[in-house]
Amino acid sequence: MVTQEELEKMSPEEIAQLQKDNCIFCKIIRGEIPSKKVYEDDNVVAILDINPARKGHVLVMPKEHFPILPLIPPKIFDKIFLATKIIAHGIRKAMLVNETTIFIANGAVAGQQSPHFLFHIFPRDKGDVLTNFNLQENPAMKGEQKSIEAPLKNNLNIMLSKILPSSNSSSKNDSSKSKESPKDAKDLVDLMAKKQELIAQILEEHDDVRLALIEDPISFKEQLKGNPKLEELFNGIDIETLSKQLSSSFKEVAVVKEDDAKEEKITNQNLESSDSSSSQSNELKPEVFLGEDPLKQRAAVFEYFNSKPKAKQLLISDPDYFIELLKNRPDVKELFVDVNIHLLSEKLKERGGDVDE
């Protein structure tokens, strides 16, 4: 057992080797743990799952240790996928079935239970006990996606701008190089901006990469060596600093979302209890609520927001999209007839969701 003190003294290479040494699938590949192999070549091995979800359940994995899909070099992944195709065809013939389910659990949140990337292949029959994926569309998520898109991109770009080397610092630190022409300097700045944008996009779209970077930056840095494209992209990035900033940022996002939910409830309760106050009357101007009874209209709108805080957040962040969604919700659309939605959105935004003076 390695102590924390010993771990801190290890180099990135030693830590990566330690992870490989303790990976159960690496031990299977090395022959230290017995298994029932059904396929093997120079890069790939496939075994029968020891705890199968279905008779004929096969695991296909790279011989080299890669924890998640984005860290696998393209050439290696091509070979894994080709082997998976061959094995799936063999399973169909051996098990006398016409169909298979091929499944990847890429990252812990997605259900990955081991630190070694692998494919699952299941032979399928009508009436078997396995459940097919049934992904239901969730309209509420559209609003949430749009509301998080801007702050997420902004946070990632700000963090990366502090970590990526700038053209100025590069030229100052290297006195042996000739001075850059304005055109060369502009090209370098443009290159850094594009690099920053691409890294931000990868971290935004791939939860598994972001989590790997946050949870184990040293191992992440080591795994980059197996993927030339990612290694080049992250060249010059202070991985440990980025990991700490990402961890802090996403913890703040989680706290803010939780606090927002609490504030939504408190805010709406305050709004409902202040109908007779002067501050309320200042906000109930005709340009916001245009119905025959603005007080009643306002109370109904915020009663709806009290039960649907995400709808209120969507109105604040994107009133045009909110209006578009109303077209498919006649029951809710009726509630917002004669309401100046854009102005209401502005007033709520000015006060952080609270319309009280």
pLDDT tens for the chain, 357 residues long, are: 667 777 777 776 777 788 888 899 999 999 999 999 999 999 999 999 988 888 899 999 999 999 888 888 888 999 999 999 999 999 988 888 888 999 998 887 788 888 899 999 999 988 787 876 666 677 766 666 666 666 666 666 666 665 555 444 444 444 444 444 545 555 555 666 677 777 877 777 777 777 788 878 887 888 787 777 778 778 778 888 888 777 766 554 444 445 455 555 555 555 555 444 434 444 444 478 888 888 888 888 888 887 777 778 888 888 887 887 787 777 788 888 888 888 888 888 777 655 443
Among candidates 104, 99, 100, which has minimal Cα distance to 81?
104
Contact status, residue 326 vs residue 332, Cβ threshold 8 Å: yes
The pLDDT, as a whole number, for residue 46 is: 95
In the chain, DSSP assigns E strands to: 37-40, 44-48, 58-62, 99-104, 119-124
**Residue carrying structure tokens 């393209």:** 74
- Domain boundaries 4-124, corresponding CATH code: 3.30.428.10
CA distance 190 to 7: 40
CA distance 210 to 256: 19
Collect all residues with Cβ–Cβ distance below 8 Å to 56 and sequence separation of at least 6.
48, 91, 94, 95, 122, 123
Q: What is the pLDDT of residue 262?
A: 52
Q: How high is the pLDDT of residue 357?
A: 37
Query: How big is the CA angle at 319 (ends 318 and 323), to the nearest 5 degrees?
Result: 125
Q: Give the position of tokens 């961890």.
A: 247
Where do you find CATH 3.30.428.10 in the chain? 4-124
104 phi/psi in degrees, rounded to 5: -120, 125
Which residue in the block uniquely carries the two structure tokens 């998520």? 141
Rounded to the nearest angstrom, the gap between the alpha carbon of residue 260 and the centroid of all alpha carbons in its chain is 20
Tell me if the pTM is above 0.75. Answer: no
Predicted pLDDT of residue 29:
94
Report pLDDT for 236. 76
DSSP code of 336? G
